[in-house]
Amino acid sequence: MPASTLIKKQYSVANSVFSALSDWVRKRKLIRQCRQKLDECDSYEIARMARDVGVSPHDLRRMVKLGPDAAKQLLSRMDALHLNGDALSRSKPGVMRDLQRLCSTCASKKRCQRDLAHDPENPFWRQYCPNESTLVALQSSAVADH
């Protein structure tokens, strides 16, 4: 292998590692800022915000600690099931919030991400996903609507 190719590969790997680390730092900073802003609020303000988004104050605090990407697998799972997350947010915002809340606190995030990356059509996700029954019901409803 020519030296220039080896240098390009090493640069590419280093660039990928740097990019991932930079993204992680950026996300951690955003989470910290959100937690600080929430900590500055009194209990009345927190209750009002929680009510506005349809969750309890406890769930709001927990979701802030998890960060903005805590439910990112949900939209990927919905895409794999041919469900439109934007349409669901408009037509049934409470259902979408419940799905996001459960996805945010799921203990199987790494498994879900791996399954989505390797074989999103594999039904194994149904064994561990806390949103399984709702997603299957939505999928059945969507099929019935067409």
Domain spans, the chain = 3-145
- CA distances 18 to 15, 21, 81, Å, are 5, 5, 34
Among 94, 106, 113, 114, smallest CA distance to 131 is for: 106
As a whole number of angstroms, the distance between CA 137 and CA 81 comes to 11
- How confident is residue 10, by pLDDT bands cut at 50, 70 and 90? low
Q: Are 131 and 102 in contact (CB under 8 A)?
A: yes
Identify the band that residue 11 occupies on the pLDDT scale cut at 50, 70 and 90. Answer: low
Residues 25-76: tens digit of each pLDDT: 777 787 788 788 888 999 999 899 888 877 789 888 887 887 777 888 999 9
Contacts of residue 55, defined as CB under 8 A and 6 or more positions apart, other chains included, come to: 63, 97, 101
pLDDT of residue 4: 62
- pLDDT, tens digit, for every residue of 63-119? 788 777 788 899 999 999 999 999 999 999 989 988 998 998 888 989 999 999 999
CA-based nearest residue to 60, from 77, 84, 37: 37
Q: Please give the pLDDT value at position 7.
A: 62
pLDDT of 1 over the 70 cut: no
